[in-house]
Amino acid sequence: MAKRDKEGTKQRILDAAIDVFSDKGYNGALVDDITKLSDTSKGAFYFHFPSKKSIFKALLGTLVERIVAEVDKAIEDKAGAELKIEAALETVLQIFSRHEKATRLLFLEATGLGKTFDREVFDAHQKFAAVIAGHLQSAIDDGSIAPLDVNLTAYAWLGAIHEVMLMSFLNPQSPPLAELTKPLKSLLMSALTKKAATK
């Protein structure tokens, strides 16, 4: 009906949904908010998605994959450089701070919904953790760092990142997320025992 019909109604709805959900939380977001923002209609919404729940789940899945893919690609490019794990960490932080809304949605709004989305939240977090854990493991395998519980560490890192982001969102006086990236990376890295490139 409007301008760029190119983009496709479904995509416009999905885009609007990210904004609305990340702004108001799952329950606070009305289907009407989404249709208004996307300049579509209730009918269009329910033509493309069977329910409000379903679009939220779709969003969770999609976003995780999209971000994980972006992280993977970015690391791949950067690799070879210093400690791969450091690159991974930096990339995750950068990408999270770039996709602020999506991240907020994945880590904040998706939580606290009772048992409704437990499965999806768990999966999402797990996928991120898997990326981190994978790179940690490689670093161990190639002897860059001393062995450690990669799983626990991955979740701990994820949590640390999440919390720092949360506080930066909530605290208007906090420095922008971008500025927190470097010190946070240092902090997390410092927990690793660097195997001195012996010899």
Residues that bind a copy of itself in the complex, under the rule CB under 8 A: 23-29, 108-116, 118, 121-122, 125-126, 129, 148-149, 152-153, 155-164, 166-167, 170-171, 180, 183-184, 187-188, 190-191, 193
How far is CA 76 from each of CA 85, 115, 188, 190, 195, rounded to the nearest angstrom?
11, 36, 21, 23, 23
Partner in contact with 84, chosen from a copy of itself, DNA, none, beta carbon below 5 to 8 Å by kind: none
Considering Cα of 158, then 163, then 166, then 171, what sign does the dihedral take? negative
Q: Under the criterion CB under 7 A, does residue 11 sit at the interface with DNA?
A: no
Stretch that binds DNA, among 6-14, 88-96, 104-112, 140-148 (CB under 7 A): 6-14
Q: How far is CA 20 from CA 94, 155, 196, 197, in A?
A: 23, 28, 49, 49
Q: In the bound complex, what is the minimum distance in angstroms from residue 185's beta carbon to a copy of itself?
A: 11
Residue 108 contact, options DNA, a copy of itself, none, Cβ 5-8 Å cut-off depending on partner type: a copy of itself
The binder of 42, among a copy of itself, DNA, none, by C-beta within 5 to 8 A per type, is DNA
Q: What does the longest C-alpha to C-alpha distance in the chain come to?
A: 69
Residue 8 site contact among DNA, a copy of itself, none (CB < 5 to 8 Å, cut-off depends on kind): DNA
Can residue 112 be called a binding residue for DNA (CB under 7 A)?
no
SS3 196: coil
Q: What is the Cα–Cα distance from 172 to 47, expressed in whole angstroms?
A: 39
How many residues in the chain? 199
The C-alpha atoms of residue 192 and residue 136 are separated, in whole angstroms, by 10
Task: Provide the minimum distance between the beta carbon of 186 and a copy of itself in the complex, in angstroms, as a whole number.
Answer: 9
| Stretch 30-59: interaction string toward DNA, x if CB under 7 A | xxx-------xxxxx-xxx-xxxx------
